[in-house]
Amino acid sequence: MTEVSSLTGRLLVATPALADPNFDRAVVLLLDHDEEGSLGVVLNRPTPVDVGDILEGWGDLAVEPGVVFQGGPVSLDSALGVAVVPGGATGEAAPLGWRRVHGAIGLVDLEAPPELLASALGSLRIFAGYAGWGPGQLEDELVDGAWYVVESEPGDVSSPSPERLWREVLRRQRSDLAMVATYPDDPSLN
């Protein structure tokens, strides 16, 4: 088996050619990527469900819009908390109940008391479900041209306008990739 270069902390941005409706114009933050597979959350799929309605105490810490996001098609009955801790604390400086994934972005232990993390969090999003790939599956999709891989920014996790995130992430690229942001929703209408 070939060695897998980790993409943890990077974004997968769906190409217009990606046919899977679960990932139409999706922006996925990869939380884990190694030879055993990949796991991420879709950052731009808000639901109408308020965080406080399903996770007592966490609603006050979630950034606007304070709703649960559909993190992907796998395990929709489970919740993941992704938070930005200013400065990306590591080691002993990391807040209890937060595990660094990449830079200032990390996973929150939703079993921990919310007040334990309240003062440390810069932003928090709650995701129902996740996107997952088995060994080599994501690499095959990358070869097939299903995803653009780009660097993440801490603000991607807490974008106040998640419906515009696909275009915003593409637009900030310093290459021809920025032009893809202008791709029409329905090219047949051109």
Is residue 139 within 8 Å of residue 5, measured between CB atoms? no
Question: Identity (one letter) of the amino acid at 103?
Answer: G
| Residue of 87, 42, 77, 43 lying closest to 63 (CA atoms) | 43
Structure pTM?
0.91
Band (pLDDT 50/70/90 cuts) for residue 186 is: low
**Beta carbons within 8 Å of 174's beta carbon, 6+ residues apart:** none
Question: Which helix (H) or strand (E) element contains residue 168?
Answer: helix 165-171
| Residue of 82, 81, 74, 76 lying closest to 132 (CA atoms) | 74
Greatest extent of the chain over all pairs of C-alpha atoms, in Å: 56
pLDDT digits (tens, 9 = 90+) for 94-152: 788 899 999 899 999 999 999 988 989 889 999 999 999 999 999 999 999 999 999 99
